[in-house]
Amino acid sequence: MNRSSFYSQQAGKLLEAPLQTRARFGIGDIVRHRQFGFRGVVFDIDPVFANSEEWYEAIPKEMRPRRDQPFYHLLAENEDSSYVAYVSQQNLLGDSDGGPVDHPSVQQIFEDFAEGRYRLRRGLSH
C-alpha cells in the first residue's frame, strides 16, 4: 500500500498514512457521537490518528478506537457547553437532520447552513 507522511503538531511527530483513506464525512458535515450523543460540525480531518499519546492512552482500553482510520476535529456541543472534540470515524453518525450546531466558533469558520451542512468560508480551505 502506498503511504505518505505528514507532520502532526498535536502528536509532535511525523506520521505515516495511506495515500488514500475513505473519510465518511466531509468538512461542514454535522455528526453525532454514537456513545455520548454530543453533536458537532466537522472543521478538519486527519487521515489517521494524529493526536498525542497522552490523549490516546487516556481513553479506557475497552473503548479505545483503532488508529488507522480517519479522525475528525469537531466544533462540538452538548446540553451544557461548547468545545472542540477529536473523534474517530467509528464513533460518528451523520446528523444533518438535527439542524445547525450552536457553537460560538461556527461563524468564524463557516458561512451559511443549508441542506443539512455548513459551507466553509472562502479562503479557509487548504
- Confidence check: pLDDT of 16 > 70: no
In a domain? residue 73: yes
Please check whether residue 109 lies inside any domain of the structure.
yes
Q: Residues 15-28: what's their mean pLDDT?
A: 77
CATH number at residue 42: 2.30.30.390
- Residue 107, pLDDT score: 93
**Structurally, how many domains does the chain consist of?**
1
Which residue type occupies 116?
A: G
Question: Is residue 52 assigned to a domain?
Answer: yes
**Which stretch of 58-62, 80-84, 121-125 has the lowest confidence by average pLDDT?**
121-125
How would residue 60 be classed by pLDDT, with cut points 50, 70 and 90? very high
Residue 40 lies in a domain: yes
**What's the mean pLDDT in 85-98?**
94
pLDDT at 22: 82
- Give yes or no for a contact between 116 and 97, defined as CB atoms under 8 angstroms apart: yes
Instruction: Give a yes or no: residue 75 inside a domain.
Output: yes
Q: Which domain holds residue 84?
A: 24-120
CB 110 within 8 A of CB 119: yes
pTM of the model as a whole: 0.83
Q: What pLDDT does residue 123 have?
A: 74
Distance, C-alpha 71 to centroid of its chain: 5
**Residue 91: left if φ>0, alpha if ψ -120 to 50, beta else—which one?**
alpha
